[in-house]
Chain A
Amino acid sequence: MSKGSSRGVRRELTDFATNQSQYGNDLYTSFTHVPIISGFGFNQLACGDDFTLLLTNNGNVLSTGNGSAGQHCVDHFKPRFEFAAVGSDTLKDGCFETFGIQQIAAGEAHCAALDKNGNVHLWGRNHFGECNEKPDITKVVNTPRVVKYFKEGIERKCLMVACGGFHTLILNQDNDIIALGRNDSGQLGLSQNEYEHQSEPTRVTLFSDKVITNIAAGSSHSVALTVEGYSYSWGGNSHGQLA
């Protein structure tokens, strides 16, 4: 190992040690019970890089962890060390309380929730338009935005949402995949030589003759599963992740 690299490693360790003393010994090496007194059961979890969303069985969304990209939808960007409702600093009065959320997803620093009416709500980091706002690295979306997608003038309902590193995929009632956000690796799957980021929901036309049943998104790539059991992958292949 060269001198330079060992110095690099040492600095990284010192940074980590500093973090440790600042935040306490906050590593948990075995499963530990998370105290939440919400009075409801839980249906689903979605983990971002350094935050977590939790879906309660009454259709509300709770969050904890880093809030620097507006993940908690409150008027500050401080981290949270215990679960509270998205849109509130307590377990009550969250912004999704009456929406009946069915499914949640978390990207690196942005979030998505699908409500009972088939609307997708997006919030958090919006560097590439992944939250359906004009890309602006100085702004985050800390009021959930509803994505509207129209086909032949009629609004289409959503069935499922997936969040990647900086992009969002939506499966809608036509079994179309709708994509928005970062596209420099082609992770939106639009077409060949189309690498422009999209802040407006854009249909992935490649699957026009296929019935998609499931979608998932990684840091810079995406996958989809068809009803026949075939899976497709597209986007960044830097680590062989497209298989």
Chain B
Amino acid sequence: MASQSGNDNIPLDIRNPELWVPAYIRPVLLELPFRVKFIECGAYHTMAISSENLVFACGLNASGQLGIPSLKSNALSLNLVK
């Protein structure tokens, strides 16, 4: 979707520079399966609101900035909920 051709299936291993996600030096059209009504970016993440009022996110989620609970982050956030 957002990444360049064929990179979706490459396993992410940050220790191997050959597998790094390539940077775009020119704007690339995002072919998304939803219409975007608002888009915004942080230091290492991008968030969008679709016309159907769904929130989509991509980028780094190490601090939980995407709001997508993963298995390991769930363990960390369990004690957040009273």
Q: Which residues of A contact B (CB under 8 A)?
A: 13, 16-17, 19-20, 22-36, 41-52, 54, 57, 64-66, 76, 78-84, 89-90, 106, 108
Bound-state CA distance A23–B66 (Å) is: 13
Contact (Cβ within 8 A) B63 A51: yes
Chain B residues positioned under 8 Å from A108 (CB to CB): 43
Which partner residue on chain B sits nearest A20 by CB separation? B14
Nearest residue, chain A, Cβ from B42: A47
Shortest distance from the beta carbon of A62 to any chain B beta carbon, whole Å: 8
B68 x A49 contact (CB < 8 A) = no
Q: With a CB–CB cut-off of 8 A, which chain A residues contact B74?
A: 81
Which residue in B60, B76, B81, B82 is a CB contact (below 8 Å) of A79?
Answer: B76
A57 to B14, CA, bound (A): 38
Query: Contact residues of B with A, CB < 8 Å?
Result: 1-3, 7-8, 12, 14-15, 21, 30, 32, 38-49, 53-74, 76-77, 79-82
Is B58 within 8 A of A32, CB to CB?
A: yes
What are 20 sample pairs from A and B whose C-beta atoms fall under 8 A apart?
A: A16-B14, A28-B59, A30-B1, A30-B2, A30-B3, A31-B2, A31-B48, A32-B66, A32-B68, A33-B55, A34-B57, A35-B69, A51-B42, A52-B45, A52-B67, A64-B67, A65-B63, A76-B80, A80-B67, A81-B68
Q: A29-B3, A33-B56, A44-B38 are in contact. Are A79 and B63 (CB under 8 A)?
A: yes
Partner pick for A54 among B15, B55, B68, B77, CB 8 A cutoff: B55
CA distance A5 to B82 in the complex (A): 46
For the complex of A and B, 9 pairs with smallest distance between CB atoms = A47-B42, A65-B65, A24-B72, A81-B64, A64-B67, A41-B53, A26-B61, A81-B73, A66-B63
| B residues in contact with A76, CB < 8 Å | 80
- Cβ contact within 8 Å between B47 and A47: yes
- Inside 8 A of A83's CB, which chain B residues have their CB? 55, 67
Bound-state CA distance A106–B44 (Å) is 14
Q: A81 and B76 in contact (CB under 8 A), knowing A30-B1, A66-B65? A: yes
A42 x B43 contact (CB < 8 A): no
With A24-B73, A26-B60, A51-B63 as known contacts, state yes or no: A34 contacts B68, CB within 8 Å.
yes
CB neighbours (8 Å) of A33 from chain B are: 54-56
Quick one: closest A residue to B64, CB to CB? Answer: A81
A27 and B63 form a contact (CB under 8 A): no
Q: A13-B15, A36-B67 are in contact. Are A80 and B42 (CB under 8 A)?
A: no
Per a CB cutoff under 8 Å, which of B8, B46, B55, B77 touches A80?
A: B77
Instruction: Give complex CA distance A234, B15 in Å.
Output: 40
Are A29's CB and B58's CB within 8 A?
Answer: yes
Complex interface: chain A residues within 8 A of B67 (CB): 34, 36, 52, 54, 64-65, 80-83
A74–B15 CA distance with the chains assembled, in angstroms: 36
Nearest A-chain residue to B74, judged by Cβ: A81
A36 near B61 (CB under 8 angstroms)? no
CB distance from B48 to the nearest CB of A (A): 6
Q: Is the CB of B61 within 8 A of A47?
A: no
